Amino acid sequence: MHTKGTKLYVFATIALVLVVIFVFVILPRLNGPSSGTALNPSIVNDASAKQLVFDFTPRTVLGTYASFTVPTSLQDTPSSKLVGPDLEKHDFMYRDVATWVLAIDVLRIPSGRLSDNGSYTYEKVYPAIYEPSQETINGHSVPVMTNKTVGGFQKIAYLVYGPYQAEISLYGDDASGSDKLQATFDMILSSWQWLAR
């Protein structure tokens, strides 16, 4: 049978051994230089180059009120909650110099007039920021607002179909310029099909 003193001695010895191990084995490793393997710079550059390849292969998105295509490189992201006249939302992202953000909002405006769309009328009030223009898509004139104050690319198109309206907003920056963004914007607009009746 172990006495109280023997147990205390054993515990003290174990504690001392642990302190010695920590001080002479673990602590020097924590404070010492770290070691690792250097990557071959050509491998790093190849990985970066592969990451920047933009896949324009069309991918169809089928909503309740409309269908359209987006480039495969755009990744779906969770959409915000539907509020007010919103009927459906689709959000996508892609990373280059800055994150591309594509937001598509389908809403119901009973009058069918674009002048009753709050976003559109807001942008019309600020011509120093938003420059209005018209793009012809599939033989139809589409109102487009371009934000002149951002670096990179930001355009918002407004499609109207009876009481339904779609706001298609694309914002981003790309190392190669705005060509990919414009091509993406054009792909969405030219592929747009209303499903609402």
DSSP string over 176-189: T-SHHHHHHHHHHH
Beta-bridged to residue 157, according to DSSP, are 144, 168
Beta-bridged to residue 19, according to DSSP, are none
Give the chain's domains with CATH numbers: 55-194 (3.40.1000.10)
Beta-bridged to residue 134, according to DSSP, are 143
- Residue 129's contacts (CB-CB under 8 Å, 6 or more residues apart) are 123, 147, 148, 149
Q: Is the separation of the CB atoms in 89 and 95 below 8 Å?
A: no
**pTM of this structure:** 0.71
Beta strands in the chain (DSSP E): 58-62, 66-71, 75-77, 86-95, 98-108, 130-137, 140-147, 153-161, 164-173, 193-194
pLDDT tens across the length of the chain (197 residues): 556 666 655 555 565 545 445 445 444 444 444 433 334 443 334 434 445 688 999 999 999 999 999 999 999 998 878 888 899 999 999 987 778 999 999 999 999 999 999 999 999 999 999 999 999 988 889 999 999 998 889 999 999 999 999 999 999 988 888 999 999 999 999 999 999 76
